Chain A
Amino acid sequence: MSTSTRSAVVTRSIASVSASSGWALFALILVLWDVVGKGDETGLIVPFSTVVQTLWDIVTGPSLTEDVLPSVARTLAGFSIAAVTGVVAGVALGWFRSLEPWFRGVLEFMRAVPPPAYVPVAILVMGADSSTRVIVIAVGAVWPVLLATTDGTRRVEIGYLDAARVYTRSIGAILRRVVLPSSLPQILAGLRISLAISLILMVVSEMISSTSGLGYKILQAQRLYDLPTMYASVLLLGVIGFLLIFGFSRIERRATVWYEGTKGRGHV
């Protein structure tokens, strides 16, 4: 009894030590970055503390409302358009099964185009303003959701549909109450990829013929050789990406608890 308790305590303390060692390594890398940066005479490596200071200035200064927030807003707007379009079109394509073989090839092709390639083409077609950037984010990000939703809709268990048809004849209700919920895990997996693409496209679209935004700020800082601002903006972008994806994972996990349950994985 006592030995097993002691070994449990030992195991737990080893576990907690190595869990915190991850943070320790992370901190060590940051400290190393700072030290190397301070010792560096070429000015190429900016110390971490300077970068954080610059980052703080950006977040508290006028740049927050001029560059940072508009960038985030454009990302979310483009992503939302992509999400809605992708889910609606994907459900339609998955529901009307005979359509899918016709358009599968086209969709796979559109997805195979590296999304940044859409940016200059969109600027040529629609001009270089803010709405073009939102549209380009939507155009680049829509394919993963669309394909994932199509697959999800096609794979809804036939038993669910039969059971639903016993109760209602309304296709709208079946789509809303059965098809959408049961393809949610696939849809969310697609949305996750779309979110990552949205972030990439936000940066790329703001680096081309642009006058504002985080991407513009990064490129401008590089051209002026203002390295602290450049590193700080890259770091800020990393933090924004991290927060968006982290937030999305939380929503995803909450929305698919039932699915993990059916697969015999734990309730989180």
Chain B
Amino acid sequence: MTRLVSAAVSAVERDYSPGNRAMLSRLIGRFRPVGGFVICAGVYAAARGLGLLPETSTPSLPALARSWIGGLRDLTLVNASLDTLHATALGMLFSMAIGVTLGLATGLLVPIDRLTGVTIEFLRPVPAVALIPVAIVLFGIDIAMQIFLIATACVWPIVIATKQAVRSVDPMWRDASRVMGRSRTGTLLRVVLPASVPGIMTGLRISTSIALVVAVAAGLLTGSPGLGASLAAAQQLADVPAAFAILVMAGALGMALDWGLRGLERIVSGWQIAITEDKR
């Protein structure tokens, strides 16, 4: 261990010659995000040590780490995350199916847009968490209830994103496809739909974060399995380190989902990035 540290130190000393300064700053650059976390952890520990934060109701960093690693080891945190992921995935599947269909219909056919516009505008701002009691009455506290809530909450961003994506497809592409002899359906399936995939992906990313919010809130309030339920249990037991560990886990899950979707976005809409950003 000490050999490793001294080797690293001597490497840094060697590199810190004017010629290698750029490399060193690149090295620092690589670790800046981690540095931010370290600084924030330091500020937290200092605030706790100075009595700015109540010591009894905030965990020390080692206690937090112990609780988090313990939760990963005995799989309680892992299983809770998997339950939340399960509900999120199924809920998203439903909202994608309904949302993309409705978005295509309203985007392509103006009468349908006019017909459904008012209803959608009224339903959209209803906070999905307000529907939790309604969902309990209808579905009980199974995972089906979470799926229902997630689907209702997430369908609107997907509808709006799909509608806008379909409308902003370059008309030239559509005309070109028709001129080259493709049928209307063929144009829809082979031109309009692929061209709106990037827009739909944006909607998917927005609604995934909403899905996580709804899943956690539903678990929190009803004990339906997932991170929310674990959090409610930790609160009732006044197990402070566990509550913070679940919070960290929820954040990690949120970031992992976002990263995954960004990766997926690069894969399925890389062509769009290529045609817009490379030109700049």
* Chain A residues in the interface with B (C-beta under 8 A): 18-19, 21-23, 25-26, 29, 44, 101-106, 108-121, 123-126, 196-197, 199-200, 203-204, 207-208, 215, 218-219, 221-222, 227, 230-231, 233-234, 237-238, 241-242, 244-246
Contacts and interface: CB of A to CB of B under 8 A. Distances in A.
Q: Main secondary structure on chain B at its contact with chain A?
A: helix
B221 A242 contact: no
B228 A117 contact: yes
Q: Main secondary structure on chain A at its contact with chain B?
A: helix
Contacts of B61: none
Interface residues of B, number: 62
A22 B220 contact: no
A126 B57 CA distance: 8
27 contacts: A18-B110, A26-B119, A102-B36, A106-B37, A109-B37, A110-B251, A112-B255, A112-B258, A113-B251, A113-B254, A114-B212, A116-B129, A116-B213, A117-B216, A117-B220, A117-B231, A120-B234, A120-B235, A124-B238, A196-B125, A203-B129, A204-B217, A208-B220, A222-B137, A230-B134, A238-B125, A241-B127
Contacts of A102: 32-33, 35-36, 39
A101 B30 CA distance: 10
Given A219-B133, A237-B127, 12 more contacts: A25-B116, A101-B29, A101-B33, A101-B36, A102-B32, A103-B36, A109-B255, A112-B253, A114-B209, A117-B247, A121-B235, A234-B133
Nearest to B111: A18
Contacts, number: 172
Contacts of A197: 213
Contact of B137 (A44, A101, A121, A245): A44
Contact of A19 (B114, B215, B234): B114
